[in-house]
Structure 1
Amino acid sequence: MEPTRVPPVEELRSAPKVLLHDHLDGGLRPATIVDLAAEAGHELPTNDADELAVWFAESADSGSLVRYLETFEHTVGVMQSADALTRVARECAEDLAADGVVYAEIRYAPELHVQGGLTLTEVVAAVQEGFDQGIEASGGRIVVRQLLTAMRQAAPSLEIAELAIAARDRGVAGFDIAGPEAGYPPTRFLDAFDYVRQENGHATCHAGEAFGLPSIWEAVQWCGADRLGHGVRIIDDIHVKEAAGDGAPVRAELGLLASYIRDKRIPLEMCPSSNVQTGAAESIATHPIGLLTDLRFRVTVNTDNRLMSRTSMTEEFRLLCEAFGWGLDKVEWLTVNAMKSAFLPYDERYRLIMETIKPWYAERR
């Protein structure tokens, strides 16, 4: 059998891609942080943009949770005004469009951006203004929607869920919870998830990254999450009997939870580089995304925090293609997975798949 051709970087960059798990406060341009910090009087580790980029990456790679969390103190710290939020959102849309992303859902916690006096509603409006500007600047090559995140360790999860529903006609696609999994199980936020579901809304949930199967089980079976943020620990419910090789499929025994998630096509928002940084995976080459793809789970590829991981969708696919010998056919499959899983009306998802994504790959077969 002829080996699969690993796509070159430029081909991966031009390929239409779909991003479902990306944090607004984890994707700022270093030069923008320097500018906004000067305006806000916020002290940074360094005011040199290049040095700051290295500091963010090294802190995220340090293995120290304290240093990792410190990086967000600086990004969130400079995102406390409407103008700052609009600029960050605009540049986010521009950067993603330049990387070939045609659809993106960008998440952030509105409650973290009110220290400068903004209301939660004003935060959402400022971010949407930025996305609208970025979409226009890109010539409409990208569609961007917001996901509103409630922090596990804070109180107002129901308030954020209500905000997500109230703003769903103004660019908000759904609701999310994030923050420390240990000690803050998804069931603590049942009222928020119930509200979103009863209002016919969409919800994803950070689960199965720092904590194991119970977190995933609660997110799916109690909270009714439509998607799982990360979900890498589902691997704990899979026993491999025979690895794939020489054209033979992998043989594995799935536990009840893993079977349910695969059978129900519950999307996994996997973030390989970030998972390696946080210790959820040992390396890209051993990341569960390889096995889960072989087993045909609804796997999607994402960036999580582009600044901290010094990554992009192009870079994530490059790393995966090189590690697993994937070609454009696998990139297409993963991209269609993500588009099918988007919190976007069916006709819009179908149109992007049939008019933008599939034609590009068909031309290269």
Structure 2
Amino acid sequence: MEKQTSVPAGTTAPRVPTADQIRRAPKVVLHDHLDGGLRPETIVELAAATGYQGLPTTDPAKLGTWFREAADSGSLERYLETFAHTCAVMQTRDALVRVAADCAEDLAADGVVYAEVRYAPEQHLEGGLTLDEVVEAVQEGFRLGEANARAAGHRIRIGTLITAMRHAARSQEIAELTNRHRDNGVVGFDIAGAEAGYPPTRHQGAFDYLKGENNHFTIHAGEAFGLPSIWEALQCCGADRLGHGVRITDDITVAEDGSVQLGRLAAYVRDKRIPLEMCPTSNLQTGAASSYAEHPIGLLTRLKYRVTVNTDNRLMSGTSMSQEFAHLVEAFGYGLDDMQWFTVNAMKSAFLPFDERLAMINDVVKPGYAELRAEWLFGGTA
């Protein structure tokens, strides 16, 4: 029998945080693509340095606009085409170091205290680098960016997710690469790319290998494709988290009286506390949601799923963690307590040892939000 429950009744609307408070609030992102977050000016400079001539424009401001407009098509396949340009300028060691350092600095400046950033090493071999050299360069860049952030008065820790492409046949090799570098800041594995026609079970061997090595992995599922993608990611492959997972609402029925009926898969995901790496702006661009107000994150949050808020691709979506939260604050009236809930959810779901996750929650996240609440209580920022 399917489970039935009720959406919790609304309570007094929380006090709305300001844009500055949203930016200063400690945030955690679990779903951020390295090749989807480059600064436009970095792309232009790297293209000039490497001789890449395929950019639609070399004006950084216009280039940033081009990426957002090209990605804003309603099609996941068209969205993914924009990555040809970013990957093209990420084919040398120096370029990878710079892009990774920029990423860490940009996230830290936006108030992110922990980030899991993912990328596919197999897409960065055209300049002659080996897979291991790609990983080493990116890790060097992240450590440099963390140090630069500290010098600027920000704190951040980056964990890396190594990604295999769904349409390729290198997932076993990439899984082994992930395992080799797991003591060098690589915290887990992922598969990405177009879902339709490329089910996660095509990479079953890689997932079985990682499970045998007691390693972590997440799977892009339930974004462009529906419930079968989610079911396979969980029940066949054993994913620890779901990348996006917005289509789980296909298994949830909300009646006119507000009562909710969960299908068996939806109930399983909630009961097992499987983290959902939700990326609202990206989902609007790819057609997985029609508006922020209609995004499944609202319903799933009310039903207390393990929801997390993420950026996906900051360049293509023209977004940041602060902007993602600002959209949700406007659409759903969320306050600081809600932001803390999302952030704690993400930190609980990170691919870090338990004691390190707990320390981040108790020593960084909760004190940061307590400080912001104190501003209201004692006459600070209104």
Shift of 1:67: 4.7
Partner of 2:291: 283
> Any gaps of 5 or more consecutive residues in structure 1?
244-249
Q: For residue 236 of structure 1, what is the amino acid of its counterpart?
A: D
With normalisation by structure 2, the TM-score equals 0.92
Q: Distance in 1 between matches of 2:260 and 2:256?
A: 7
Contact 1:298 1:337 in 2 (8 A): yes
2:338 pairs with 1:330: yes
Relative to structure 2, which stretch is displaced further, 62-71 or 319-328?
A: 62-71
Q: Among 120, 126, 148, which residue is 2:131 paired with?
A: 120
Contact 1:242 1:252 in 2 (8 A): no
Aligned partner of residue 255 in structure 2, secondary structure: strand
Shift of 1:57: 0.7
Partner of 2:90: 79
Partner of 1:246: none
Shift of 1:2: 4.3
Partner of 1:217: 231
Q: Among 7, 12, 21, which residue is 2:22 paired with?
A: 12
Shift of 1:71: 1.6
Q: For residue 103 of structure 1, what is the amino acid of its counterpart?
A: Y
Judging changes above 3 Å, is the alpha-carbon distance between structure 1 residues 20 and 66 closer, same or farther for their aligned structure 2 residues?
closer
Partner of 2:244: 230
Count of residue pairs the alignment pairs up: 359
Partner of 1:195: 209
Partner of 2:358: 350
After superposition, give the CA deviation of every residue in 1:31-75 in whole Å (9 maximum; x if it has no partner).
Answer: 000000001111211111011011111111134666533321100
Judging changes above 3 Å, is the alpha-carbon distance between structure 1 residues 62 and 123 closer, same or farther for their aligned structure 2 residues?
same
> Any gaps of 5 or more consecutive residues in structure 2?
1-10, 375-382
Shift of 1:6: 1.7
Contact 1:19 1:302 in 2 (8 A): yes
Partner of 1:26: 36
Partner of 2:380: none
Percent identity between the two aligned chains: 68
Shift of 1:138: 1.1
Q: Among 26, 29, 48, which residue is 1:38 paired with?
A: 48
Contact 2:16 2:335 in 1 (8 A): yes
After superposition, give the CA deviation of every residue in 1:171-219 in whole Å (9 maximum; x if it has no partner).
Answer: 1000000111111111111100111111000000000000000000000
Q: Distance in 1 between matches of 2:301 and 2:183?
A: 34
Contact 2:76 2:224 in 1 (8 A): no
Q: Among 192, 195, 215, which residue is 1:181 paired with?
A: 195
Q: For residue 41 of structure 2, what is the amino acid of its counterpart?
A: A
Contact 2:75 2:285 in 1 (8 A): no
Aligned partner of residue 307 in structure 1, secondary structure: helix
Q: Which has the higher contact order (CA 8 A, sep 6+)?
A: 2
